[in-house]
Structure 1
Amino acid sequence: MNGLLWSVSILCLTTLGIMFILKKFNQPYLIAYILVGIILGPHISGVFTDPEQTETIGEIGILLLMFFLGMEINVPDNRSLLVKPVVAQLIKIVLSIACAFLVGHFAGFHMNSILLIAILFIFNSTAVVSEFLNKHKTLKTTFGIMVLNILIFQDLLLAPVLTLLKAWNKDDFHISSIIFPVVLCGAIFLILKRIRTVREIRLPKFFVSIEKDHDLQVFFGLFVCLISGLVAEAAGMSSALGSFIAGVLVGKVKTFNWLEHSLAPFKVFFVTLFFVSIGLRLDIPYLFSNFSIILLGTFFVLMSNSIMSALIFRMLKFNWKESWYGGALLSQTGEFGILALSVAYKSGIIEYSLYKSGLGITCLSLLFSTVWIAVLSEIMKKSKLIRKVV
């Protein structure tokens, strides 16, 4: 027990120290969580030696994060705000595959590796981007809704992608095995399209009594969030997506407005653990021995994703300022990219070295993208001031 208390105390103290530093530079706290994982991981201080346990607990944080996003986001009445993200992501998929083939051609990678590189390009971090949108009060703007809907469509794609990866090297693989997840993705899109015109979902009077009981609120809210993720996982989809859909539906029920206050501390704690687990899994010795390749790969991912996404936003009639900002927001590879890497490695699709390199590039892209977004925001602000002065 003393060992556990020491570990948790050191975790809290280290996190607080880095958060205070980041607060001075107006940087998101997600950077602190990843850095804490690296510092306290098995390769530096050794306070935590088993990243898998922390990762499993931390995944609850992603469920809560997606649940909160679903509650906070307003499904737009404007049909274009539902259709345009689909078009944007389809264009990005084509560009990502082309970019992956280009990288694979010059690097001499096999088709399996090229496939995984394309997947890493496709998926961005919903957690990082949503935190930025929330922090800058742009989550509920037209631009914020567009960006978030693109991310949600990416999450919809996770189900067929993971199904494909799990069955890739199996002899009994058949195309019909991914039909069910694809059909479910389509059904969820239709549900979102349907409820955008629903102002409020009314529940029986029994649920009104929960408003006055804080203990009931906490456990009922956790149950709704976790069981929706479990059902989605059992159906072959990502648990995070199931939690998000539950959040969208709960957000339409005014009786459950207290959920945000009841579950907020749980969200902060478990999201912290998830990103700490990302830092814990980073193999520092491997990173240093292959530093130039991983760093080059990280900057290539950030720049190519930024340019591709910026061009897509421009094609959707956003101005260049919003387009470049959107490109910076969607520059990194995300938490679901890490999941795809893990599944691909366990399925024998990629070798260990590519798994470690992909994990390093993903972690560094998550770290550097936050700085890149902040730097670009400052550049745009200064250019705006210069134009006003001129």
Structure 2
Amino acid sequence: MHGLLSAICILCLTTLGIMLLLKKLNQPYLIAYIIAGIILGPYVSGVFTKPDEIEIIGEIGILLLMFFLGMEINVPNNRSLLIKPVIAQSIKILLSIICALAIGYMTELSLNSMILIAVLFIFNSTAVVSEFLKKHNTLKTTFGIMILNMLIFQDLLLAPVLTILKVWDNKNFDFLQITLPILVCIAIFLLLRRVRNIQEIRLPGFFHTLESDHDLQVFSGLIICLGFGLFAETVGLSGALGSFIAGVVVGRVKSFNWLEHSLMPFKVFFTTLFFVSIGLRLDLSYLYFNIKTVLLGTFFVLASNSVMSAIIFRLLKYNWKDSWYGGALLSQTGEFGILALSVAYKTGIIEYSLYKTGLGITCLSLLFSTIWIAILKGIIEKRSLISQKN
């Protein structure tokens, strides 16, 4: 108990100090969590030595984060806001595959490695992007909903991607492993179509008694959020997607208005742990000896993702200002990329060196993307002001 309390106190103190510094620099707190993980990880101070265990606990934070996003977002009635994200993400998948094949051809990588690189390009960080959409007050705008729907579509793709990685060399392939998630995805789509036309869902009188009982509120909220996540994981989808759908439905229930206040502390704490676990995974000694490769790969991911996404948004008739802003938001490779890397390494699809390099690029892209977004947004706004004056 003494060691656990010491580690938690050091984590809180380190995170708080970095957050106060970032507050003065007007930077998001997600950076603080990752840096704290690097400092306290097994490769620096050694306060925490088992990043996998902390990541498992921290994944609850991602479920809560997606749950809150579902509560806040309005399912659009405009069909284009549902079709455009699918078109945009489909184009991005195609461009990501082309880009990965080009990289693999120039560096003489195996086909397995090329496919994994394409996966890293495809998935962005829902946590990072949603935080910036909130910070810039664009979450509920038409363009913000468009980007968020792209991220949701990515979450839908996670299940078949992970399933394919797990059975890559497995002769005992179960067709149900892919068909069941597809059927559930269709059910989710039909549910969203149904919910978007409902302004309020009424529940039996029992649920109204929760409004005056804080303890019942907390556990009712957790079972709704985590229960939907568990169901999604059981059928082969991501738990984050299940929690998001739960949030969409709960957001239509007025008798659950108390839920946000009851679960917010849990969301902050567990989300922090998840991003701390990302910092814990960063092997600084490996990074030091391969700094050129990792930094070049990180910059290439940020730049190429930004350009690809900006071009896609422009093709969908958005102006260049919004297109470059959307490109900046979708520049990083996300937390699901780390999951894909782990699965690919454990199943023997990729070798250890590529796993470590991919992990370093993913961690640094998450860390640097916050700065990258701030820089590109500043350039966009500056050019917009200049054009307005002219």
Superposition TM-score tier, normalisation by shorter sequence: over 0.9
Shift of 1:180: 2.1
**3-state SS of 1:297 partner:** helix
Q: Give the aligned partner of residue 340 of structure 1.
A: 340
Structure 1 stretch displaced more, 194-203 or 119-128: 194-203
Shift of 1:360: 0.4
CA contact (8 A) 2:324 2:380 kept: no
Shift of 1:175: 5.5
Instruction: Count residues in correspondence.
Output: 390
**3-state SS of 1:168 partner:** coil
Residue identity opposite 2:24 in structure 1:
K
Distance 1:161 1:102, change over 3 A: same
The 1-side partners of 2:272 and 2:84 are apart by 32
**3-state SS of 1:101 partner:** helix
The 1-side partners of 2:87 and 2:36 are apart by 38
**3-state SS of 2:362 partner:** helix
CA contact (8 A) 2:332 2:366 kept: yes
**3-state SS of 2:140 partner:** coil
Shift of 1:176: 5.6
Q: Give the aligned partner of residue 331 of structure 1.
A: 331
Q: Give the aligned partner of residue 46 of structure 1.
A: 46
Q: Give the aligned partner of residue 82 of structure 2.
A: 82
The 1-side partners of 2:350 and 2:76 are apart by 40
- Structure 1 stretches of 4+ with a deviation exceeding 4 A read none
The 2-side partners of 1:221 and 1:184 are apart by 23
Q: Give the aligned partner of residue 308 of structure 1.
A: 308
The 1-side partners of 2:285 and 2:15 are apart by 23
CA contact (8 A) 1:82 1:193 kept: no
Q: Give the aligned partner of residue 383 of structure 1.
A: 383
1:270-309 equivalent positions in 2, closer than 5 A: 270-309=270-309
Shift of 1:174: 5.7
- Listed one character per residue, the Cα deviations across residues 341-384 of structure 1 (whole Å, up to 9, x for unaligned) are 11111111111111111110000000111101111111122223
Q: Give the aligned partner of residue 226 of structure 1.
A: 226
Residue identity opposite 2:236 in structure 1:
G
Q: Say whether residues 1:150 and 2:150 are aligned partners.
A: yes
- Listed one character per residue, the Cα deviations across residues 210-267 of structure 1 (whole Å, up to 9, x for unaligned) are 0111111011101111111111101011111111111111111111011111100100
- Listed one character per residue, the Cα deviations across residues 285-321 of structure 1 (whole Å, up to 9, x for unaligned) are 1111111001111111111100010011111111100
RMSD: 1.1
1:1-390 equivalent positions in 2, closer than 5 A: 1-173=1-173, 177-390=177-390
Q: TM-score scaled to structure 1, two decimals?
A: 0.98
The 2-side partners of 1:385 and 1:81 are apart by 29
Structure 1 stretch displaced more, 319-328 or 373-382: 373-382
Distance 1:196 1:353, change over 3 A: same
Residue identity opposite 2:358 in structure 1:
G
The 1-side partners of 2:213 and 2:201 are apart by 21
- Listed one character per residue, the Cα deviations across residues 137-165 of structure 1 (whole Å, up to 9, x for unaligned) are 11000011000000000000001111111
Shift of 1:18: 0.7
- Listed one character per residue, the Cα deviations across residues 181-200 of structure 1 (whole Å, up to 9, x for unaligned) are 22322321232222111111
The 2-side partners of 1:180 and 1:282 are apart by 35
Q: TM-score scaled to structure 2, two decimals?
A: 0.98
CA contact (8 A) 1:38 1:282 kept: yes
Residue identity opposite 1:286 in structure 2:
Y
**3-state SS of 1:375 partner:** helix
CA contact (8 A) 1:61 1:272 kept: yes
The 2-side partners of 1:330 and 1:92 are apart by 11
Give unpaired runs (5+ residues) of structure 2: none
Residue identity opposite 2:105 in structure 1:
H
CA contact (8 A) 1:159 1:181 kept: yes
